[in-house]
Amino acid sequence: MKTKIEVNVTSEIGELENVIVHSPGPEVEDMTPQNAERALYSDILNLSVASREYKSFKRVLKKVAVVHEVEDLLKEVIKNEDARKQLVQELCKNECVDEISEYLASLDSAALAGQLIRGVPLNFDNLTNYLSNEKYALRPLHNFFFTRDSAAAIRKKVLIAKMASKVREREAIIMESIFHNHPMFDLEIVNPVKFPKFTNDITIEGGDITVVRDDVLLVGISDRTSSRGIDFMIDRLKEKGEKRHIIAQVLPREPESFIHLDMVFTLLDVDKCAVYPDVIFNPHDFQTIHIIIDNGKVSKIFEEPNIVEALNKLGIHLETVTCGGNADKWTQEREQWHSGANFFAFAPGKILGYARNVHTIEELDKHGFEVVKASQIISGKQNLNDYKKCVVTIEGEELSRGGGGCRCMTMPIRRKSVSW
């Protein structure tokens, strides 16, 4: 058996030890312009290019941490007959496809894991199916390579997301099965759907959750995470009776580049963050609300000027790095569209981001981050240990068109603690 992993994430920037990813496969490309919007895409991707870019991204991650693939974990889980049966039943019920349950049960572990992710083709064995415009009985999971969204590690717990869109619910169900059944994980699972008081207006996605410190959470109120979803998190935090701070940031509902909080704000270091200023510093349109939980109850709810000032009051003093630089608002808008504020910290002051956002990268350079190409790290020409602060640039011309950045493509499950 593999060594047991005690899940523990107490900050967004602690040195990365274990992370879950999903390498994009045929499911990413198996869509058309007609159904791309239904799949939550604004464009269709070229898999060969996206795969090449993702391979570089993953190879850098493997230089700094243990990297786990969703599909590999799923294959191992469904070797257990009880786990397999439970997962198939839940998925078929959730997607109203009981007619394929027997077929899914007949597949070996590798084939079943593959089809749960890449889709089950529709069998044209009756008139209804023959007349259908659908290609799949179980649609491909086009968005699964954004593993950040379907679950979030918060301290020693994993919160299973309640996805806002039906097309992504299977991702969360698969992740819960992995965390519940894989013998490698030691953790407590929190799933709003299994909560006795669950209602359909509770939605929470991982891209909206940032663990700043063990007592401070940032959460976006977005098209994907509802105020009811944040109320659910508050209720769960109240049970422990510890003092906690939740800072909730209202986000624009359109365009889709504002899908989650991490598209406008990410932590880079103990004293630096990336921001898209038109949202973060616009309290008139987008409120920042501070919720204090103390002694098992909400002791105070009040409005803050912005996230940066709210964190400053809690002893977290941040210098802002502007997405797109400070010269031109049009450039800021263009680079935000391609995840210019979305960085993944694999250690304090060491981050991953897309090379295409050249003005943002230049701004990082001005703030002391040395710019290093992913190819230099992969080849061994440069060593990450030689840098105090750096941004490793990933070629993301195709990946960015999927609507997310390097943070979106990672689900950290264990980080070292940070000295604030």
**Residue 100: per-residue pLDDT:** 94
Residue 371 lies in a domain: yes
Structural domain harbouring 396: 5-415
Residue 146 near residue 207, CB atoms below 8 Å: yes
Q: What is the CATH number of the domain that holds 347?
A: 3.75.10.10
Residue keyed to tokens 């919720």: 291
**Which of 344, 352, 348, 345 lies closest to 418, judged by CA?**
348
Residue 339 lies in a domain: yes
Residue 420 lies in a domain: no
Please state, in angstroms and rounded to a whole number, the distance separating the CA atoms of residues 407 and 146.
8
Number of domains in the chain: 1
Span 388-416, mean pLDDT? 94
Span 290-299, mean pLDDT? 92
Span 210-217, mean pLDDT? 96
Span 69-73, mean pLDDT? 98
- 41 falls in which pLDDT band (50, 70, 90)? low
Segment 162-184, tens digit of pLDDT: 999 998 999 999 999 999 999 99
**Residue 379: per-residue pLDDT:** 95
**Residue 39: per-residue pLDDT:** 45
Please state, in angstroms and rounded to a whole number, the distance separating the CA atoms of residues 360 and 332.
8
Residue 170 lies in a domain: yes
pLDDT of residue 152 exceeding 90, the answer is yes
- 197 falls in which pLDDT band (50, 70, 90)? confident
**Residue 240: per-residue pLDDT:** 66
Sort 379 into a burial class: Cβ within 10 Å, 0-12 / 13-18 / 19+.
exposed
Residue 266 lies in a domain: yes
Please state, in angstroms and rounded to a whole number, the distance separating the CA atoms of residues 166 and 188.
25
Residue 380 lies in a domain: yes
Residue 243 lies in a domain: yes
Span 2-29, mean pLDDT? 93
Residue 400 lies in a domain: yes
